[in-house]
Amino acid sequence: MPATIIARTDDAFTIQLEIPYGASMLEFEEVIQQRLDEAGVLATTEALRQFDADGSPIRVGDSKLTSKGQLKKEYQTPYGVAPVGRHVYQSSRGGKTYRPLDRNARIVVSSTPRFARMVSCKYAEFGSARVINDLAEDHGRVVARCLVQDVTDAVAAVALAKEEEWEYALPEPEEPTATITIGMDGTCLLMCEGRWRETMVGTIGSYDAEGQRQQAIYLGATPEYGKATFPDRMEREIERVKASHPGARHVGLADGAKGSWEFLGRHAEDQVIDFWHAAEYLSDAANVLFAGDSEAMRPWLKAASHRLKHEPGAARQLIRDLRRLAAEKGVPLDHPDVEAAMTYFTNQSKVGRMDYPPPVESKVPIGSGVTEAACKVLVKQRLCGSGMKWKEPGAAAVLSLRCLSYTTGRWSQFWSKIDRYGFPVLA
DSSP letter for each residue of 292-318: T-HHHHHHHHHHHHHHHHHSTTHHHHH
Q: How many helices (H) does the chain have, and how many strands (E)?
A: 16, 11
CA 243 to chain centre: 23
User: Quick one: angle between helices 113-125 and 410-421, nearest 10?
Assistant: 150
Strand order in the sheet with 196-207: 213-221, 196-207, 179-190, 249-254, 270-273
**Facing residues of 97 across strands?**
90
Q: How many CB atoms lie within 10 A of CB 207?
A: 24
Written as tens digits, the pLDDT of the chain (427 aa) is 789 999 999 999 999 999 999 889 999 999 999 999 999 999 999 999 999 999 999 998 888 999 999 999 999 999 999 999 999 999 999 888 999 999 999 999 999 999 999 999 999 999 999 999 999 999 999 999 999 999 999 999 999 988 888 999 998 899 999 999 999 998 999 999 888 998 999 999 999 999 999 999 999 998 776 667 888 999 999 999 999 999 999 999 998 777 788 899 999 999 999 999 999 999 999 999 998 788 889 999 999 999 999 999 999 999 999 999 999 999 999 999 999 999 999 999 999 999 999 999 999 999 999 999 999 999 999 999 888 999 999 999 999 999 999 999 999 999 999 999 887 644 3
**Facing residues of 181 across strands?**
205, 251
Angle, CA 157 vertex, CA 139 and CA 134 arms, to 5°: 15
The Cβ-side half-sphere exposure at 117, using a 13 Å CA radius, reads: 18
